[in-house]
Each structure stands twice: as structure tokens, then as C-alpha cells.
């Protein structure tokens, strides 16, 4: 029997500093979630104050020299503090604090739910960065339409890191997140159940999903060598799986969704983007605590604590300013690249990638990915996810570009106009798109049809 022994080794691992983690959290947070984060910071950091409702001293008495002295003369303020002429907490402060408690709590988004799981995972920095990129490319269902090879080409990240990050995300809650399509989503959920990949349910979804949709239980039973009753029980179980793992986090179902950006036409007919952050608390460092750090006789530990809180408060304000600046810059690029959409509709969304916009703004693609995750834009054509403006696409025969969303829109229009007695098959839709100059494969049409929740032609047929 071998002897047991202990060994000691040294290894290096890069971790995010708390202030960097907070900065990324702020960048990725939606407007409502950001309000909640700011309110939490106001509660935990005594040096921060919300000045949203403060009346301007200059507006009240612009010519009063004492008011100017209050704002500019640090020596006077320190003397005032020592003589206890400044109150630390007023009735207005308490009323604003109470309003914070009464505010609606922002819902947790799918991206923030997954980001917390990434933060808790012990993974290398390149995988963590790739996971952030994947989060920004998930659709509202939690699906990842783009292949790892495509993400690698757009972002410049290593393919291996993206593949490991995707495997990590696919292991997270809710089960099925990170799937490429419906079949993959169901398989991910079944893998976690007893029997895993060897279960009858798993094999049916993997090999016979189309027959299952047509309720061809006898054919499935013969092909698998099981009873029809077993297939029926498996079908019932599969029907209880969640085809939309992101549904519990769907912000569009929340009546209190607040857009982060508004894009509208001005009087000159030109599009302009504005942020909607005016309802967010406006932060500043309380002068009283700033002065205390330099006051005589204060306890050294208290001085150090206040300095740390001031540093954290300033870091928060810088992160907020950077977030707003980044989102607005991306919105301006959306206007620049998607003029066709604003004039003619979703059909005319052109292909645009995060890598392309990141290069134009001199940012990293993962920064753009985090900035657009869970953000919404109010446009002349309705409320949209900011992420919806980013998609790969196709070139038409005329040389024009059409995005994936444009292709889906074209499919939806074709189905809406079809003869209910003779619905279009996927092959017929493929030929109809080709006649419009859009050449896509039949399997791509089938994929987009499923994403639009359009049934196969034999299930759409209406009998008189």
C-alpha cells in the first residue's frame, strides 16, 4: 500500500477586482436593474447622496454671496462642521429614502441571472470573457443562434475558449439555456434527468422529433423497438419540458419595462438617440464626509473607512458615466448602420456584428456584448431589444444585404399570404425567397420557421 503524502504547489490565477466586477455589472444592467443597484449603493455607502430632487442654490438666490461661499469655500465648510451648524440627515433625505423602499424592484434578467453564475465559476479569464460574449448573443428564449466559429471570427477570441465557455453556459440554470435550437434545448434538459442520453425520451428527441410532432407513435415505436405505449408516455414527458428556458426572465412581458435609449426623428427629419436615464438617481459625494477625512481629531480607522467609501462612490459614478456613454455611442452607430430599418421596417435590417461596431468605437467586442445585453430601444417602429439590431445575414442577387431578421420577416409574410388549403412547404418557401433574390438553404428556412413558431405545412393545412 502506497504511503499518503501532501504536496504544495504555486499557481497563478487571474480574478476580477471587486470594483471591476461592479463596473461590469453596471454596464450589463438594464435601466430598472440599474436603479436597484444605485439604490443599494445609496443604502450601503454613507458618503453617497441622491441629489435628484435638490433645488439648485444658484436658482434660488443666484446673487447671494453666502451661497457661493457654501459651495466653494472648504475652510468655511470645515468651520461650520466643527460648530455643528450642518445637519447630517434632513427630513427631505428621509423622505427620499422612503421613496426608494417603495420603488418597484426590478426583475432579474436572463443575462444577469447567468452572469452571477459566471462570476461564481472558477474558470480562466479567456473563458470568462468568452462567456460574457455568449451572454450578449443569447436571444430572449436563451438560445444561441450563432455558431462558435462565427463568434470567434467576429470577436477575435480563441475558438477553444468560446467552446469551453459555451459548455459552461449550457450547464447553468435554467436547463436548456445556450441551446442552438429547440431539439438541442430539449436534449440539454433530458441530459440532466435520470437515464440521461440513454433514455427513450432523449433518443426520440434526437432521432425522431419530426415524427413526434406529427404524432406518428407507431412508426417511432417500430424504429426504436419499444411499445407504442412507451412512446406515448415519453411524448407526454417531453411535452412537459420547457421549450423556452428564457421565458421566466422575459422582460417584454413586464409592463414596467423602461427603454434605455429613445431613437426618434427631429424636426429636421434626422434620427437622434437620447438616453432615458433622467429618472435615475443623480449621485454625488456628500461634502460633510469629504471634509471629515481632513478634520482634526477624527479616529484614524473612521478616516480610513470614509476614504474607502469615497473611493468606491467615485468609482460607481465613473462606471455609471462610462455605461451611459457606451450605450449612447452604440445607439448612434445603430442609427448610422440601420437607416433602412427606420425607413422601411424590419425586413430591411442589414447585417451588423458586435465586432464591427466594437472596431468602429475602439472597444472590445465583449464590452459591446455586455452593453447591449438586456437593453431596450424605443424606436419609431416600436420597442426593441438593442441586441436585435445585431445579426449576420445574406447578400441578395442585387448585391443588397439582408439580415437574419429580414429573412424571418420575409418567411412570415409568405406564410401570412399563403392559401390555407395549400400551405407552403419549406421547399416552396425556399424557392419563393430565391425568387426575391434571397438564397438560403431549406434547412435554414425550417430553422427560422421554428423560431417564428410556425407549424409545418401539413399541420397548417385547413380542411373545408
In this predicted model, what pLDDT tens digit does every residue of 274-304 receive, in sequence order? 888 666 778 888 888 777 777 777 778 888 8
Distance CA(37)–CA(283), nearest Å, equals 12
pLDDT at 453 over 90: no
Closest CA to 450 of 103, 161, 143, 234: 143
The range of the structural domain enclosing residue 410 comes to 393-460
Element (H, E) at 377: strand 376-379
User: pLDDT band at residue 79, thresholds of 50, 70 and 90?
Assistant: very low
- Residue 438: how many other CB atoms lie within 10 Å: 20
Give the dihedral of Cα atoms 297, 303, 307, 309; nearest 10 deg.
-120
Distance CA(103)–CA(35), nearest Å, equals 9
**Of the ranges 14-28, 306-320, 422-436, which one carries the lowest mean pLDDT score?**
14-28
Q: Is residue 454 part of a domain?
A: yes
Q: How many percent of the chain have pLDDT more than 70?
A: 77
- Residue written as cell 465648510? 77
- Residue written as cell 473611493? 311
Distance CA(249)–CA(265), nearest Å, equals 31
- Counting beta carbons within 10 angstroms of the beta carbon of residue 30, is it exposed (0 to 12), middle (13 to 18) or buried (19 or more)? buried
List, as one string, the DSSP characters of 201-259. HHHHHHHHHHHHHTT-HHHHHHHHTS-HHHHHHHHHHHHTS-S-TTGGG-GGG-TT---
188, three cell numbers: 440539454
Q: How many helices and strands, by DSSP H and E, does the chain display?
A: 23, 8
pLDDT at 16: 52
pLDDT at 165 over 80: yes
Contact 108, 102 (CB under 8 A): no
pLDDT at 280: 73
Contact 146, 137 (CB under 8 A): yes
Higher pLDDT, 41 or 72: 41
Q: Is residue 237 part of a domain?
A: yes
What are all long-range contacts of 85-91, with beta carbons under 8 Å and residues at least 24 apart?
86/288, 88/288
pLDDT at 252 over 70: no
Taken in order 140, 142, 148, 154, the sign of the CA dihedral is: positive
294, three cell numbers: 481632513
User: pLDDT band at residue 19, thresholds of 50, 70 and 90?
Assistant: low
Q: Is residue 206 part of a domain?
A: yes
Q: pLDDT tens digit string along 94-144?
A: 454 444 444 444 556 788 888 888 888 888 888 888 888 888 888 878 898
Mean per-residue pLDDT, 258-283? 82
pLDDT at 430: 86
pLDDT at 257: 67
Could you tell me which residues are beta bridge partners of residue 422? 419
pLDDT at 166: 92
3-class secondary structure, 390? coil
Mean per-residue pLDDT, 427-445? 83
Domain count, the chain: 2
Q: Is residue 410 part of a domain?
A: yes
Q: Is residue 70 part of a domain?
A: no
* Domain endpoint, select from 209, 244, 279: 244
Q: Is residue 19 part of a domain?
A: no
Q: Is residue 95 part of a domain?
A: no
* Domain endpoint, select from 244, 267, 288: 244
List, as one string, the DSSP characters of 124-149. -HHHHHHHHHHHHH--TTS---S-HH
List, as one string, the DSSP characters of 225-238. TS-HHHHHHHHHHH
Distance CA(456)–CA(214), nearest Å, equals 9
Distances (CA, A) of 410 to 375, 380, 443: 26, 21, 16
pLDDT at 8: 55
- Read off the CATH number of the domain in which 436 is found: 1.10.10.60
Distance CA(197)–CA(444), nearest Å, equals 26
pLDDT at 397 over 60: no
Q: Is residue 314 part of a domain?
A: no
* Domain endpoint, select from 200, 224, 244: 244
Distance CA(212)–CA(316), nearest Å, equals 53
pLDDT at 256: 57
Amino acid at each position: 500500500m502506497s504511503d499518503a503524502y501532501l504536496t504544495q504547489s504555486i499557481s497563478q490565477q487571474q480574478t476580477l477586482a471587486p470594483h471591476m466586477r461592479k463596473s461590469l455589472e453596471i454596464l450589463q444592467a438594464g435601466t430598472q436593474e440599474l436603479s436597484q443597484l444605485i439604490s443599494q449603493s445609496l443604502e450601503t455607502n454613507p458618503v453617497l447622496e441622491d441629489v435628484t430632487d435638490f433645488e439648485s442654490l444658484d436658482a434660488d438666490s443666484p446673487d447671494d454671496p453666502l451661497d457661493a461661499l457654501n459651495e466653494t469655500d472648504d475652510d468655511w465648510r470645515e468651520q461650520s462642521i466643527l460648530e455643528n451648524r450642518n445637519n447630517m440627515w434632513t427630513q427631505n433625505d428621509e423622505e427620499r429614502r422612503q421613496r426608494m423602499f417603495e420603488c418597484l424592484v426590478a426583475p432579474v434578467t436572463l443575462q444577469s441571472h447567468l452572469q452571477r453564475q459566471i462570476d461564481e465559476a472558477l474558470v480562466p479569464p479567456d473563458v470568462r470573457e468568452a462567456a460574457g460574449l455568449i451572454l450578449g448573443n443569447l436571444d430572449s428564449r436563451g438560445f444561441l443562434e450563432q455558431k462558435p466559429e462565427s463568434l470567434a471570427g467576429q470577436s477575435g477570441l480563441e475558438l477553444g475558449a468560446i467552446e469551453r465557455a459555451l459548455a459552461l453556459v449550457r450547464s447553468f440554470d435554467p436547463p436548456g439555456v445556450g441551446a442552438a435550437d429547440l431539439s438541442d434545448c430539449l436534449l440539454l434538459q433530458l441530459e440532466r434527468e435520470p437515464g440521461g442520453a440513454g433514455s427513450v425520451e432523449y433518443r426520440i428527441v434526437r432521432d425522431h422529433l419530426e415524427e413526434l410532432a406529427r404524432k406518428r407513435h407507431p412508426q417511432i415505436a417500430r424504429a426504436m423497438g419499444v411499445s407504442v405505449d412507451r412512446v406515448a408516455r415519453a411524448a407526454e414527458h417531453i411535452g412537459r419540458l420547457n421549450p423556452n428556458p428564457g421565458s421566466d426572465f422575459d422582460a417584454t412581458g413586464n409592463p414596467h419595462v423602461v427603454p434605455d435609449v429613445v431613437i426618434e426623428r427631429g424636426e429636421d427629419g434626422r434620427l437622434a438617440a437620447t438616453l432615458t436615464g433622467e429618472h435615475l438617481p443623480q449621485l454625488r459625494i456628500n461634502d460633510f464626509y469629504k471634509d471629515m477625512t481632513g478634520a482634526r481629531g477624527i479616529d484614524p480607522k473612521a478616516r480610513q473607512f470614509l476614504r474607502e467609501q469615497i473611493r468606491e462612490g467615485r468609482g460607481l459614478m465613473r462606471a455609471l458615466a462610462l455605461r451611459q456613454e457606451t450605450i449612447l455611442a452604440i445607439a448612434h452607430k445603430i442609427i448610422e448602420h440601420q437607416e433602412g430599418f427606420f425607413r422601411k421596417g424590419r425586413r430591411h435590417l442589414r447585417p451588423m456584428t458586435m465586432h464591427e461596431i466594437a472596431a468602429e468605437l475602439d472597444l472590445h467586442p465583449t464590452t459591446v456584448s455586455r452593453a447591449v445585453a438586456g437593453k431596450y430601444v424605443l424606436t419609431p417602429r416600436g420597442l426593441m431589444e438593442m441586441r436585435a439590431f445585431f445579426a449576420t445575414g445574406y447578400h441578395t442577387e442585387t448585391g443588397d444585404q439582408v439580415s437574419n431578421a429580414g429573412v424571418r420577416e420575409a418567411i412570415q409574410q409568405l406564410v401570412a399570404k399563403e392559401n390555407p388549403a395549400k400551405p407552403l412547404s419549406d421547399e416552396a418557401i425556399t424557392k419563393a425567397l430565391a425568387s426575391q433574390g434571397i438564397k438560403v438553404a431549406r434547412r435554414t428556412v425550417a430553422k427560422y420557421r421554428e423560431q417564428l413558431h410556425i407549424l409545418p405545412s401539413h399541420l397548417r393545412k385547413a380542411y373545408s
